[in-house]
Amino acid sequence: MSEADPHIHVERNVVEAGPGVRNLISSMLGRTTDAPDVVTTGCGIRVPYAMTSVRPESVTCLACREHAHREYLRFAGQIERLGQGPMPGVNITGAELAEAAGRLRDLARRFAGEDR
């Protein structure tokens, strides 16, 4: 962990990062989870959690931005594949899956620095 690193990074597991996931876990389990003190980033270094962000506009580490771009595109592809076949017992429509994949692709574009 480098104290002199001025960059804002993303967590390696960027799709699972952030307060939204912790809130989901808390609502499912009825217990709160603490944010970690130190995390491994998309560029492979360990930094204090406070030096990470889930917002593309805040991330200044280029390698982390590229990592997040790839991960969000990969996850969007997985979501799209879910809608290709029957999903017994799942109450999610193909349109909802397409909307979720679109939001993930939008995040990927923002991490790549692309405008809409």
For the chain, give every domain's residue range: 14-112
Q: Identify the CA nearest to 17 among candidates 66, 72, 98, 60.
A: 72
The confidence score (pLDDT) of residue 112 equals: 95
- Summarised one tens digit per residue, pLDDT across range 13-57 is 988 777 777 777 788 788 777 778 899 999 999 999 999 999 999
Q: Give the mean model confidence (pLDDT) for residues 81-85.
A: 78
pLDDT at 2 > cutoff 60: no
Confidence tier at 1 by pLDDT (50, 70, 90): low
